[in-house]
Structures are given as structure tokens and as C-alpha cells.
Chain A
């Protein structure tokens, strides 16, 4: 009897945690998106106003697409950049592995916002980089990096790099180095050893890195506000403004719900295609 109950008892703390800190806020948000709120008092009444979704999507579907596009681009950049880094540290870091990992993390001891604002300062039109280049007529006067989608993607990629690099490192580090020797013994070229041995073994790490980078980047509202311009607004900025600047709680909730739903569907589809099978296989 007690043996049968044990798994449930053991999962109770985790379950309560999920209930209190995930399900309750989630249901609250979903319910809020169907309510009508008074901007002044903040008081909300349930009106089952499904129209809010249509209206918000009508106004901001473009920003939603931009977010997926930018977060996707930043994630791909991060994967491409951090794979060699993680691979090199794991295979060739030797006794200095921890030192190299620390080097990777050092910039991230500085606050997220400060780091981004410093980039704004560095990249401003007449700033330390572009100013001299323009002065030397190497760049046209109206050239600018800030206020472009490129700057936003670069900022996202820069800010979320450790979230990609660390899970990848963990996955690569765990690979038994002798499998490479085995591959070479079986006449594998360096390329095929990488593509048929190393890469498949890192897929769970790639998947984790993708999730940890893509999901927060999707809802990011800092990079676009600081580095972006007029036509690259991400949905995170719209949601943040709805909640904190315009006090439109219903609208903000509706957009959050849409973002969550689309992200979950996409990620589950992705997991079924790529993630879960390999995680089961390799864990």
C-alpha cells in the first residue's frame, strides 16, 4: 500500500510547485485575457470577451512573426557560434576547462540591461566605432547599426549565448572520447566521424540549447527597445507596454496567451520530430 503511494508522495512537492507557480498564474493569465478591465482602477470583470484575441492579433500579428523570426535567427547564430566553442573546451580544454568556461561567462556577471545599453553607446551613429569610420569617409554619413533588425538579432544572440553554450558543453563533454578513436579505427574520415558519431550524440544537448535560447529570446523585450528601431518591434515589447505602460491587462494577457500557445505547439512538434526520440535513446 505505502509502496504504491510512494511515487505520488514523492512527486507531491514538485506537483504543488507546478500548481502554485505555473498552473495558477497560467490560468489567471488566460482568464484575464477574457475579462474587461478598467484602466483606471485596474478592476477586471469576466465578460468572456473572445474578441480581444482577434483585435490584438489584428493589431500585432506582424510583431508576433518578427519575434519568431528574430528569436530563430539569434538561436541559429548562437548554435553555430557556441558549438565550436563548447566542442573545443570539452575536447581540448584539458585542465583549464573550468577557466575557459568562466571566461565564457564573465561578461554575464554584468546586468543584462547594462550590457545592452553599453552596446547602444558603442554603436551609436557618432559613437566610438562609427564616428571615426564616418569621419574617415569609410562609411556614408547616414549609415547606422542601431535601430535596425540586425542590431536586435545581434543583441539577442549576444545576450543569450551562454544559454546555448552551456547545455551544448555538457552534452559534448559527456561523450566518451574513445568513440572517436573507434570511428577512426573503422576508417571513418574526420568529417564522417563528426557527422555520424559526434553530432548524433549531441542532439539532446542541441535540443536543450535550442529551447533555453529560443524561448526566452522569443519573449525578450529589452534588446529591441534599446537596439531596435521603428519597424522591428518584438511581441515582448508590445506585451510589456500593454501591462506596464498602458495598463491594458486584458490585451497584454491575450497576446501572452497567443505567444504561449504558438510557442508550445511549435516546440511540441519539434520535440516529436527531433527531441524526444533521441532523448529517450541517449539518456
Chain B
């Protein structure tokens, strides 16, 4: 099937006559979608139809493309036909990229050097809800409106997207920077062998943040979250994966290799923590505000949040503790959702971030784990464009770039890497349900 520029790529539907595509007045409505809508409408007339119309059975979901066909989406010949549209829509999590006076220096530099405009938005605050938002478009084989999305490896949606063929396999020939500069933590990762679909954006630990003004001796154990001394001043995460994992660490069980009976014990331990009045609340991203305004003194926390706050003189009392039981290590991954309208531009931007100079600027602001170890040298001895950008950012950040370069939270030492733990990977929906039924009732207590 020949691709016209600006036309819907649809490798799974080779039977569609190109003339039908040309005849379509609206590029946002595919023929399959039209038929689905018509079918649902007709079915709604009878009760059985009503029942069936509730689900979205099999619409586009069954296309388990284990690998790109010779000419399918993501194949070498498909990529060869993709052209630059000089536009890319990048959906990321909030506060996750360098900022200078309301602009993003790395994105400005990208546009200046490539001529590709970036529409950068921050619509992702949680994996599952964001996935639920883009899923109907993916199922209907319509563009989601995004060319790059960022999904975490510790939550089910990344696996769903890969399994259902809803990600465009990357153009391996255009990942030069990635293969030259990516660190061992993000190259060929267990959740995406061979980096077929993803390139890491940032990694980080879910560990413990505490207020140093109130807690001078936090110790080294995850037990601080369960210490009666801080009753009513402890914040836990409402995310069941995060909550369950720290519960497992607390009972000295390795989360990645845990069993259902371990989960039950961890849930019991966490339930007791709650009934003892230790937990103030179960938070989403808002835990950082609760830490800052003093509602809580110690909390489950993401490493970069605490380090960013730490750099800010107003909150210099906030510190991070990676407990001796280990910090939960996760990676957020850039990927291209199916039907993305500017895949070539997306590839260009994703690989662009794998230059040490660019990543140095991102990290100077971000302070999560840098996927490019070489960025450390740039932060220590800035050159060229990066030197200029870092210099301009310095007054707002307050500390020299060498602070970021020397931080083990950004460029982890061997000890930090060894102290990292992986999340449990659910083998079936039943396991996920079992996990949720144990940990969700804790966060939603009555």
C-alpha cells in the first residue's frame, strides 16, 4: 500500500483500496471506525445488542503484531517512506524537562537546529488514566494526537501498548546517538528487549523523602515509614504498585520475586501501619506539597522530586533516603503511539536527547537518573551550546552544574545501582486483580 505524505499510515489494513483513502474527506475517520460506529448503533436496538455494545470487543485489539512485517508499520521499508513534517507533539509528565523563563532550552535548541517545531504538553500524571484516554483512539486506529508519549515500566500500560501492537517499532537505523551514548541501565532493558519500541526518558527511585529539620537521624531502614514516633506525619503513595512494593520491602521480601502469600503479609503490615494511626494519607504526586507545607514529615517519594526541592533554598531541609532494603527503580520510556502523524520527527527528537550536551541541560533542571552517563562530563566541563544554556539557567537553579554531576541520584554509583530493586511483573490479569484487591482497600479505607 503506497503512502502519500500526510496520509494515515495503516499497515494492518492492506485490503483498503488507496482510492478510498483519497476519497475520505476527514482524515480522522477510518473506514473501520465508521463500520464499528454503525454496528454499535444497529446493535443498540435490541437488548442483546445493548449488552454487546457496552464492551468494545476486539476492535483493533487483537492485532498482536509480535514484530513488524516486511512492509508493515515500523519496518525498514515503512520507515523509508516516512518524511519529516517539521512538527512533533510530545506528551510528557509535569515538571520533567528543563525550564528557563517559561521556555524549554533543549526544545528551543532542537527547533533551531532541525527546523522541527515541538508542541510540548504535560498531560500525563498517571499511567493508567492516561492510557485509558488514548486507548479509544488506538482501538479505532486513529491518531492519538501525540507523536511521543512517556510511559513507566512499573505500570501495566507499557506492556499493554507493546502487546496490542499500539506502538510504532522504532527506526533502529536512526538511533545513532542512543547506541553511542545510552547507559547500561536503559540499553536493551528487560521490559523492551533490543529497544524495539522505547528509549528511556529518565529513571528514578521510589524511596523515602524526609524533613531534616524535624528528623535529624532517619536511620537507614524503610522502617522509618512505620515508626510510631512519626504517627500521623507519614505519607504513603496511593498507587497500588508503589504501596505494595514498599510493604514487601518492609517485610524483607524482594518485590520482583514475591508470591501472593507475601503480598497478603505485606498488605497486613500496611493495614496495621494505617490502623496504628501512622499514615496521614495516601498521596499521588501531591505528596511533595504535603512534605513542603509540613503536613507530613516523612513519605514515600520519587528521587528527583526531593532532589529538586533540596536544591531550592526554601526547602533545603528535604532529603532523600534510599533505604538499606533497596529503592524501587523505575524508568519512564519515550515511545511512539500507533497512527502517530509525525513518526520521523518523533524519531529525530527522541534520538536528539541522547546527546550528552542535551541531556546535561535536561538533568541540570531535572535531577532524575540520567540515561546518558556522558552528560556528567558536560556538566563538569561545559562546552559549546550546553555551556551557554547551563550558564543562563544557573541563576534560577542556584547551584553550579557540578552539583548535579556529582550527585549519585543523577549519575548513580555502583552501590546505588546494586541497591535498586525491580517491581513485580504481573503474569496475568488475575494476579493484577489479586494485587489490587489487597492494596487498594488500604488506600481507600473506611
Contacts and interface: CB of A to CB of B under 8 A. Distances in A.
Interface in B417-446: 429, 432-433, 436-437, 440-441, 443-446
Interface stretch (B54-62, B141-149, B406-414): B54-62
A38 interface: yes
Contacts of B59: 43
Contacts of A43: 55-59, 61
Nearest to A46: B51
Contacts of A63: 444, 446
Interface in B125-163: 126, 128-129, 131-132, 135, 139, 156, 159-160, 163
A45 B280 contact: no
Contact of B429 (A24, A39, A42, A59): A39
A142 B445 CA distance: 21
Interface string A206-242: 0000000000000000000000011111000110010
B24 interface: no
A229 B444 contact: no
Nearest to A65: B446
B429 A231 contact: no
Which of A39, A229, A230 counts the most chain B CB atoms within 10 A?
Answer: A230
B274 to A, nearest CB: 5
Interface string B235-264: 000001000000000000000000000000
B57 A45 contact: yes
Contact of A230 (B54, B159, B445): B445
B42 interface: no
Given A59-B441, A230-B279, A41 B61 contact: yes
A37 interface: yes
A235 B294 CA distance: 29
B232 interface: yes
Given A44-B55, A126-B294, A230-B445, A246 B163 contact: no
Name B's interface SS: helix
Contact of B444 (A31, A38, A41, A233): A233
A246 B160 contact: no
B50 to A, nearest CB: 6
A95 to B, nearest CB: 46
B164 A24 contact: no
Nearest to B47: A27
A231 B295 contact: no
Interface residues of A, number: 44
B57 to A, nearest CB: 5
Given A127-B293, A241-B444, A245-B126, A39 B156 contact: yes
A62 B436 contact: no
Contacts, number: 120
Contacts of B279: 230
Interface in A43-97: 43-46, 55, 59-60, 62-63, 65-66
A37 B132 CA distance: 14
Contact of A125 (B295, B443, B446): B295
Given A41-B61, A230-B274, A60 B54 contact: no
A147 interface: yes
A113 to B, nearest CB: 13
B174 to A, nearest CB: 29
A146 B280 CA distance: 10
Contacts of A27: 47, 50
B55 A144 contact: no
B329 interface: no
Interface string A27-39: 1100110010111
Interface in A2-26: 24
A147 B437 contact: no
B132 A247 contact: yes
Nearest to A20: B44
Given A32-B55, A124-B295, A230-B280, 5 more contacts: A28-B53, A35-B54, A38-B429, A44-B56, A247-B132
19 contacts: A27-B47, A31-B51, A35-B54, A40-B163, A40-B164, A41-B61, A43-B57, A43-B58, A60-B446, A124-B293, A126-B295, A144-B232, A144-B295, A230-B279, A230-B443, A232-B445, A244-B129, A245-B126, A245-B129
Interface of A: 24, 27-28, 31-32, 35, 37-46, 55, 59-60, 62-63, 65-66, 124-127, 142, 144, 146-147, 229-233, 237-238, 241, 244-248
Interface of B: 44, 47, 50-59, 61, 126, 128-129, 131-132, 135, 139, 156, 159-160, 163-164, 232-233, 240, 274, 279-282, 293-295, 429, 432-433, 436-437, 440-441, 443-446
